[in-house]
Amino acid sequence: MKRCLLLFAGTVSIGLSAAALAQGAKPEEEIRYRQSALNVMGRSFGTLWAMSQGKMAFNAQLAADSAAIVEMMSKLPWNSFGPGTDKGAPTKADAKIWSEMDKFKDKADKMKTEVGKLAQAARSGDEAAIKAATGDTGKACKSCHDDYRLKEFRQ
Amino acid sequence: MKRCLLLFAGTVSIGLSAAALAQGAKPEEEIRYRQSALNVMGRSFGTLWAMSQGKMAFNAQLAADSAAIVEMMSKLPWNSFGPGTDKGAPTKADAKIWSEMDKFKDKADKMKTEVGKLAQAARSGDEAAIKAATGDTGKACKSCHDDYRLKEFRQ
């Protein structure tokens, strides 16, 4: 199991290295990439959210699978908010992200921490723990969206 | 290790169930989702490709991490090519996909098979095997793109 966790940790850590590789990417590619990772994350989180709200029957395997996607995706977008990626394609990322990067990264880190707990709960199959961790993750998502995600796309 | 592989298999299999859940999604959401999964997949595959072509120093951990992302993403897009998702947002998906769905799915399955081999090679850390499997996966990607991906977006 230790090896398994290491494998998982390795899988999930890739975000940083894989994203770092793309620092030569064009701003529009970075914007597209971070949107893509968050889009994939959002769909799987939506499944967990629906279960936590009783809008979908709880399914432990689906919860674990969804949380694994959320966890992997949660590592990927952040290096694509680098210098010069504040514009270049339609984006809902508030421009103040780039003047408040430390605060923004703190919010991202908070979310990743909650997602880590969610994924752990999901692997355990404990319905109550999964639902609670889904709620905590949702709050962390919302906190960042409230501050840094615009309601409409900007150029 | 067996448990680990099971965990991985579970992680990867989610694609189908998670995607199935979204069958009530709007066509534009489905188009966006499949593009997002393929975009995330493409970036990590690009890392593997660069290593296989000697354009980037080989790094076993990065290869394994990248292949894990590719493997997870390779499961996600296909249920988002359902009926009614041939249009609704700008897409490079050739409309003939929906009249040749069996052939299209065969190409997707072929790709998933090659990606499975790639991920297995990447977990082993065997540089030659990883590079060979990257080439085979690239051919499977290209085969489908040649037949079913347009060069420009269409509405």
Cβ <8 Å between B21 and A56: yes
Kindly tell me if the per-residue pLDDT of A20 is higher than 60: no
The predicted structure's pLDDT at residue B43: 97
Kindly tell me if the per-residue pLDDT of A119 is higher than 60: yes
ipTM of the predicted assembly exceeds 0.90: no
Full residue range of the structural domain in which residue B30 is found:
2-154
The predicted structure's pLDDT at residue A25: 85
Q: Residue B73: what residue type?
A: M
The predicted structure's pLDDT at residue B98: 98
Roughly how many angstroms between the first and final C-alpha of chain A, as a whole number? 47
Contacts of B16 in chain A (CB under 8 A): none
The predicted structure's pLDDT at residue B101: 98
The predicted structure's pLDDT at residue A62: 97
The predicted structure's pLDDT at residue B97: 98
Closest chain A C-alpha to B96 CA, distance in angstroms? 25
Q: How many helices (H) and strands (E) does chain B have?
A: 5, 2
Average pLDDT, chain A: 89
The predicted structure's pLDDT at residue A3: 37
Domain count along chain A: 1
Q: Which pair of tokens denotes residue A130?
A: 């999964």
Q: Residue A50: what residue type?
A: A
Closest chain B C-alpha to A99 CA, distance in angstroms? 27
Kindly tell me if the per-residue pLDDT of B21 is higher than 70: no
The predicted structure's pLDDT at residue A151: 97
Number of residue pairs across A and B with CB atoms under 8 Å? 103
pLDDT of B67-123, one tens digit each? Answer: 999 999 999 999 999 999 999 999 999 999 999 999 999 999 999 999 999 999 999
Residue A36 contacts B, CB cutoff 8 Å: yes
Kindly tell me if the per-residue pLDDT of B23 is higher than 60: no
Spatial contact of A76 and B40, defined as CB atoms under 8 Å apart: yes
Which of B32, B69, B120 should be substituted to probe chain A, the one whose Cβ sees the most A Cβ atoms within 10 Å? B69
The CATH number of residue B59's host domain is 1.20.120.10
Closest chain B C-alpha to A94 CA, distance in angstroms? 21
Q: What is the average pLDDT across A129-149? A: 98
The predicted structure's pLDDT at residue B25: 85
Return the SS3 of A5.
Answer: helix
Cβ <8 Å between A65 and B11: yes
